[in-house]
Every structure is written in structure tokens, then in C-alpha cells.
């Protein structure tokens, strides 16, 4: 039996490490910072935990995601194609920092790309 993407990414700790690296990149990006500008520290921390839970559950891990669906949680934010491309650039940088193997990186990017239709307006 083949391992789940969750297992291949290092389980919870591996996915949490990626989120810990990715979110500060997004929050400090001049183009993307507007999405977090008026969020309190607790709100950002909650958002990071929801991101970890979503990624773990979506990658075949033993976590249950209790957040809203992607369309609902991103509606009205005005996320553009340019915003999306900048996000993908940061995601690639984070995956490269952790030396995520080519197959796993491709699987992560394919999954993230599948959410685009519900996120970009």
C-alpha cells in the first residue's frame, strides 16, 4: 500500500512546519498583507491552525477539518490572479526551503491548484 501524502510530507509536524514558514511570508508580502492587516494575533493563530488541519485532512491524515469550505472562507476578499501567483511563489519557496521531494511537491501544488476556483475572484 502506498503512503498517503500526509505521511510522505512528514505527518503533522512536517505540515505544521510548512505552515509556520509560509504564513509569515504571506503576511509580510507587500501585495498580500492587506488580507491580514486588521487581524488580531489570535485570529492569525486560529487561521494557521485551520490551515494545518485542512492540509493534514486533505493529504490523508487523521485530522478532521472543522473550518468553512474554501469558497465561503475566501468570498469577498477580492483575491486576484496576481495575488494567487504571488501566493504560489511563496509556497514554492517554502517547499524548496524544506527540500520537499519533486513528487510530493507536485502533489501539493496540484492539490492547492484544485482549490483556486473557490478562492480567486
Report pLDDT for 39. 86
Of the candidates 63, 46, 49, the one whose C-alpha atom is nearest the C-alpha of residue 11 is 63
Express each pLDDT in 42-61 by its tens digit: 988 998 999 999 999 999 99
Q: What local confidence, expressed as pLDDT, does residue 50 receive?
A: 92
pLDDT for 1: 64
Confidence band (pLDDT; 50, 70, 90) for 37? confident
- What residues does each domain of the chain span? 5-119
* 5-119 fold: Globin-like (1.10.490)
Residue 98's pLDDT is: 96
Distance CA 62, CA 116 (A): 24
Task: Kindly list the distances between the CA atom of residue 38 and the CA atoms of 9, 14, 33, 45, 95, in Å, as whole numbers in the listed order.
Answer: 32, 29, 10, 14, 28
Q: How far apart are CA 121 and CA 119, in angstroms?
A: 6
32 near 83, Cβ under 8 Å?
A: yes
Q: How confident is the model over 77-114, as pLDDT tens digits?
A: 999 999 999 999 999 999 999 999 999 999 999 999 99
> How does the average pLDDT of the chain come out, rounded?
94
Contacts of 18 (CB under 8 A, 6+ apart): 9, 55, 94, 95, 98, 100
Amino acid at each position: 500500500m502506498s503512503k498517503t501524502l500526509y505521511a510522505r510530507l512528514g505527518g503533522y509536524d512536517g505540515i505544521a512546519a510548512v505552515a509556520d514558514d509560509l504564513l509569515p511570508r504571506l503576511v509580510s508580502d507587500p501585495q498580500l498583507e492587506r488580507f491580514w492587516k486588521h487581524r488580531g494575533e489570535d485570529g492569525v493563530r486560529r487561521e494557521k491552525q485551520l490551515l494545518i488541519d485542512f492540509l493534514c485532512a486533505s493529504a490523508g491524515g487523521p485530522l478532521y477539518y472543522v473550518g468553512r469550505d474554501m469558497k465561503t472562507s475566501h468570498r469577498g476578499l477580492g483575491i486576484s490572479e496576481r495575488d494567487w501567483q504571488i501566493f504560489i511563489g511563496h509556497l514554492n519557496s517554502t517547499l524548496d526551503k524544506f527540500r520537499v521531494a519533486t513528487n510530493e511537491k507536485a502533489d501539493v501544488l496540484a492539490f492547492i491548484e484544485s482549490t483556486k476556483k473557490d478562492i480567486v475572484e
